Homo-oligomer: A and B are copies of this chain.
């Protein structure tokens, strides 16, 4: 009979990132991840994730919902970029200080694996897709929606990269707002 394992999902994610960082992604087995997560079993692992790789992309659906909800709830007076900025704010707020160390490890693990980079690019595209769909619902023209979503995602990832590696007391939300401002400035230098 399956035991109830408190917080198993979160424990598995943390164990996986630790092991991947210590001994490499390829060398780590599902059994090791389950064991490191405080004596869980392979069966428990597969109740939560379809395979070893998906542990790293656990948040994809949740993140999509967060940005959709934020864009759906933005005031009617908001411009497309303002809608996206609110979505990035909400998403960034998920990554509290206690997740920063894991984020830094995760980035290194992904940087060392072509397979994980592919999957990461797909996750990024899914985030752009979620924002675009939500903007479309707000009757933003398709191409404007796509661009705004791309810019928002770019601000988020740029900020995430700085937040994850730096000894900098600012929150991810603060980094994201700064990244957004820098992107706006860069847009004015395109031609």
A residues with a Cβ closer than 8 A to B are 79-82, 117-119, 121-122, 124-125, 141, 143-144, 146-148, 150-151, 154, 182-183, 185-187, 189-191
Q: Is the interface of A mostly helix, strand, loop or mixed?
A: helix
Q: Could you say which residues of chain B place their CB within 8 Å of the CB of A154? A: 146-147, 150
CB distance from A46 to the nearest CB of B (A): 19
Q: Decide: B189 and A141 in contact? CB cutoff 8 A.
A: yes
Given contacts A118-B119, A150-B154, contact A141 B186 (CB under 8 A): yes
In contact, A191 and B79 (Cβ under 8 angstroms): yes
Cβ contacts under 8 Å, A125 to chain B: 121
Least Cβ–Cβ distance between A136 and chain B, in angstroms: 13
A–B pairs, 30, beta carbons within 8 Å: A79-B190, A79-B191, A80-B189, A80-B190, A81-B191, A82-B191, A117-B122, A118-B118, A118-B119, A118-B122, A121-B122, A121-B124, A121-B125, A141-B186, A141-B189, A143-B182, A143-B183, A143-B185, A144-B186, A144-B190, A146-B154, A146-B186, A147-B154, A147-B186, A147-B190, A150-B150, A150-B154, A151-B190, A187-B187, A187-B190
- Closest residue of chain B to A122 (Cβ to Cβ) is B118
CA distance A147 to B150 in the complex (A): 10
Task: For the complex formed, measure the closest distance between the CB of A187 and the CB atoms of chain B, giving whole angstroms.
Answer: 6
Q: How far is the CB of A40 from chain B (nearest CB, A)?
A: 27
CA of A191 to CA of B182, assembled, Å:
15
A81 near B121: Cβ-Cβ < 8 Å: no
